[in-house]
Amino acid sequence: MAVTAEHRYSVVINPFHALLLGGALPLYLGALLCDIAYARTYEIQWSNFASWLIVGALVFSGVALLFALVDLMRDRRRARGFGIYILLLLATWLVGLFNVLMHARDAWAVMPMGLVLSVICSLLISLAAWFGFATPRVGDAR
Amino acid sequence: MKHKTIFALAAAVMLLSACEEPGPPSFGPEPDLPKPSRGVLPHMVIAEPAPWGDEQPVVPEGYEIRAIATDLAIPRQSLLLPNGDILVAEGRGGNAPNLKPKDVIAGYIKAKGTSSVKGGNRLTLLRDADGDGAYELRTVFADNLNAPYGLALIGDNLYVANQDALVRFEYQEGQTRAGGPPTKVTDLPSKINHHWTKSLAASADGRFLYVGIGSNSNITERGMVAEADRAMIWEVDAKTGMHRPYATGLRNPTALAIQPGTGQLWAVVNERDEIGPNLVPDYLTAVLEGGFYGWPYSYWGKNVDDRVRPQDPEKVARAIVPDYSLGAHVAALGLAFSVPAMGGEFADGVFVGEHGSWNRPDPVGYRVTFVPFRDGRPAGPPVDFVTNFRGADGKTRGRPVGVTVDPKGALIICDDLSNTVWRVTPRRGM
């Protein structure tokens, strides 16, 4: 049986890069859950939590984006799946930036746009992580 | 250098904000109220502080101004004593924690527009014994206070509104130093103290004190619980310290004054930010007993503020429209009724100290205005009385806070940026 080990980006991804990429997902997801909690209870502390979680997600995904940009400069690293990954990560970061600014509004002025943006951020970071981590299907006859 | 960076940053922030050119703020009893709006970022424009140098505040023809005390420690409000001495409350209060990333950044930018001097937490006494207009005696009347702001004298009792309590000193005419530490009349709401200033006025009959207590947020972003006992004026029994809310829904009643003749309580109130350059007008109003003035649920009467949850339509339905718009974001912090001795067109009306805006692309305020009155009510547009606190070069040299009228014909102005007390008088022989 022939083993086809595709040269995917996930094979060469730096472990610290991977850690940041994986970490950004629960941060955005946490922000989304906090937004939902605020929308349901009007309890302002949830909204404060959401703001800080988005800042955390921006830091994590921002540094991950730097890793990806460095890899962009290095031919050897630009494996299959890399292009879509870096585009998704960049999109996540930009939407995240708008999201944190939206969350800087006072009280209910965050809603509903803040919640919508948190949903989009969570989806985008999930997709980015999917493409960043997609592994070659070792041992899988195709 | 550091300053340059900050102002470049502020400029960048401005560019990112919705940048339509706003019209001038709308004054008077029926101001224009545009639709609420906000860009991606709020407008934050702090006029760069600069020393006075050769510049001076500008007063109308026939008046002169001089600095009667400099190098104070954040002078806020003043009180004229019966013998002509002036007491100045100096301090800086508030201990509101940063709750959001936004608070950290906004706090940093706003601090660039204020003095770096430490608040004095004291009362300074100024005396001009020979009446030549130079206050040759300057002495500390009382210290170890906690961000004192409002001042009032009833008979031989001097009341001081600290940021956490209303206290009383015994006062004899001519005294230059308090006899001892003050006696507490009552505690004042002081948790968080987002708006920490406690304004003060004594009723005409001397039975009551009115204390203005600001809200604990711009628009409930610190939660509804934090707003218990906030955004209201208390009526305090001067003898017992017992108190009750006198009027509510006043976001930040920063200065109170009793109208001579009628005994009516008036206030200037700072309204909410971040819904546009011409919203919401700061206002001057006669304060009606039991009145509700809208905050946080609505502004300028029944205009609902959608940023507040849960809403309260029943309260909105009985929200009172204030008497007179001073213009949005001017930050009125001083109020005093004039006297005929002020002369000319400034004989009947109120002086208003305007600290100046931060939430407007084109800064407003930074001046002392005069609102003319007729038959005991505001009549006509406000008139500039002292200007040039913000120069033509866009730099800020002073920020007016409290104003006090001397019945002999003088206006005393506290300036908490250049840490100066100014005194404006009609020129002799006019």
pLDDT digits (tens, 9 = 90+) for B129-145: 999 999 999 999 999 99
> CB–CB of B223/B191 below 8 Å?
no
Q: How far apart are CA B151 and CA B169, in angstroms?
A: 11
B38 and A44 within 8 Å at the Cβ level: the answer is no
pLDDT at residue B25, as a whole number: 82
* Three-state DSSP state, B11: helix
Q: What's the start-to-end Cα distance of chain A, in Å?
A: 10
Strands in B63-69's sheet, in edge-to-edge order, are: B63-69, B420-426, B410-415, B400-406
Q: How far apart are CA B259 and CA B349, in angstroms?
A: 10
Longest CA span, chain B: 61
Neighbours of A95 (CB within 10 A): 17
Mean of all residue pLDDT scores within chain A = 89
Q: Which of A43, A45, A107 sits opposite B219 (nearest CB)?
A: A107
| Amino acid residing at B133 | G
A107 and B308 within 8 Å at the Cβ level: the answer is yes
Any CB–CB contact under 8 A between A107 and chain B?
yes
> CB–CB of B116/B92 below 8 Å?
no
Q: How far apart are CA B174 and CA B375, in angstroms?
A: 36
- Residue B166: name the closest of B239, B247, B264 by CA: B239
pLDDT digits (tens, 9 = 90+) for B198-242: 999 999 999 999 999 999 999 999 999 999 999 999 999 999 999
A9 part of a folded domain = no
Q: Which residue in the block uniquely carries the two structure tokens 């948790």?
A: B191
Mutate to test the interface with B, among A94, A106, A117 (most CBs of B within 10 A): A106
Q: Which of A51, A52, A101 sits opposite B41 (nearest CB)?
A: A101
A139 part of a folded domain = no
User: Any residues with CB less than 8 A from the CB of A89 and at least 6 apart, and which?
Assistant: A21, A61, A64, A65, A68, A128, A132
User: Any residues with CB less than 8 A from the CB of A103 and at least 6 apart, and which?
Assistant: A47, A50, A51, A54, A110, A114, B100, B102
Please give the average per-residue pLDDT across A20-44, as a whole number.
Answer: 97
| Amino acid residing at B114 | T
Strand runs labelled E in chain A: none
A108 and B99 within 8 Å at the Cβ level: the answer is no
> CB–CB of B257/B350 below 8 Å?
yes
| Closest approach of A108 to chain B, Cα-based (Å) | 4
The CA-atom distances, in angstroms, between A38 and each of A44, B40, B142, B390 are 6, 21, 47, 42
- Residue segments in chain B with a per-residue pLDDT below the cut of 50: 1-19, 430
A41 part of a folded domain = yes
pLDDT-derived band at A12 (thresholds 50, 70, 90) equals: confident
Determine the structural domain holding residue A81 and report its residue range: 14-133
Lowest mean pLDDT among A2-6, A24-28, A106-110, B420-424: A2-6
* Three-state DSSP state, A75: helix
CB pairs under 8 A between A and B: 56
Tokens of B78: 């003043």
- B350 exposure class (CB count in 10 Å sphere: 0-12, 13-18, 19+): buried
Tokens of A134: 């997609």
pLDDT digits (tens, 9 = 90+) for B331-354: 999 999 999 999 989 999 999 999
pLDDT at residue B429, as a whole number: 58
pLDDT at residue A142, as a whole number: 43
**Residues B47, B13, B279, B195: is their CA dihedral positive or negative?**
negative
pLDDT-derived band at A83 (thresholds 50, 70, 90) equals: confident
Q: How far apart are CA B81 and CA B155, in angstroms?
A: 11
| Amino acid residing at B33 | L
pLDDT digits (tens, 9 = 90+) for A108-135: 999 999 999 999 999 999 999 998 888 6
Tokens of B180: 């001892």
By C-alpha distance, the chain B residue nearest A106 is B221
pLDDT-derived band at A68 (thresholds 50, 70, 90) equals: very high
pLDDT at residue B428, as a whole number: 75
- B320 exposure class (CB count in 10 Å sphere: 0-12, 13-18, 19+): buried
Q: Which of B41, B219, B310 sits opposite A106 (nearest CB)?
A: B219
pLDDT at residue B23, as a whole number: 79
Number of domains in chain A: 1
Ramachandran bin of B261, using left for φ above 0, alpha for ψ from -120 to 50, beta for the remaining angles: left
- B293 exposure class (CB count in 10 Å sphere: 0-12, 13-18, 19+): buried
Strand runs labelled E in B81-197: 86-90, 122-127, 137-142, 150-154, 157-161, 165-170, 183-187
| Closest approach of A96 to chain B, Cα-based (Å) | 13
Tokens of B79: 């009180």
User: Any residues with CB less than 8 A from the CB of B359 and at least 6 apart, and which?
Assistant: B42, B43, B44, B273, B274, B277, B329
Q: Find the helix or strand (DSSP H, E) in which B294 lies.
A: none
Any CB–CB contact under 8 A between A51 and chain B?
yes
Domains delineated in chain B: 2-18+37-426 (2.120.10.30)
By C-alpha distance, the chain A residue nearest B16 is A101
pLDDT at residue A139, as a whole number: 52
Any CB–CB contact under 8 A between B43 and chain A?
no
**Residues B93, B99, B104, B109: is their CA dihedral positive or negative?**
negative
pLDDT at residue B106, as a whole number: 87
Q: Which of A44, A98, A101 sits opposite B223 (nearest CB)?
A: A44
Please give the average per-residue pLDDT across A85-99, as a whole number.
Answer: 97
pLDDT at residue B8, as a whole number: 43
Provide the pairing of β-strand B410-415 with B400-406: antiparallel
Tokens of A96: 């995240």
Q: How far apart are CA B254 and CA B235, in angstroms?
A: 15
pLDDT at residue A6, as a whole number: 57
A7 part of a folded domain = no
Q: Which of B40, B102, B309 sits opposite A107 (nearest CB)?
A: B309
A1 part of a folded domain = no
Checking if the pLDDT of A100 tops 90, the result is yes
Q: Find the helix or strand (DSSP H, E) in which A128 lies.
A: helix A113-133
A141 part of a folded domain = no
Whole-model pTM: value is: 0.92
Distance of CA B402 to the CA centre of its chain: 6
What phi, psi does B201 have (nearest 5°)? -150, 150
Tokens of A68: 């990806």
Any CB–CB contact under 8 A between A103 and chain B?
yes
pLDDT at residue A77, as a whole number: 63
Any CB–CB contact under 8 A between B219 and chain A?
yes
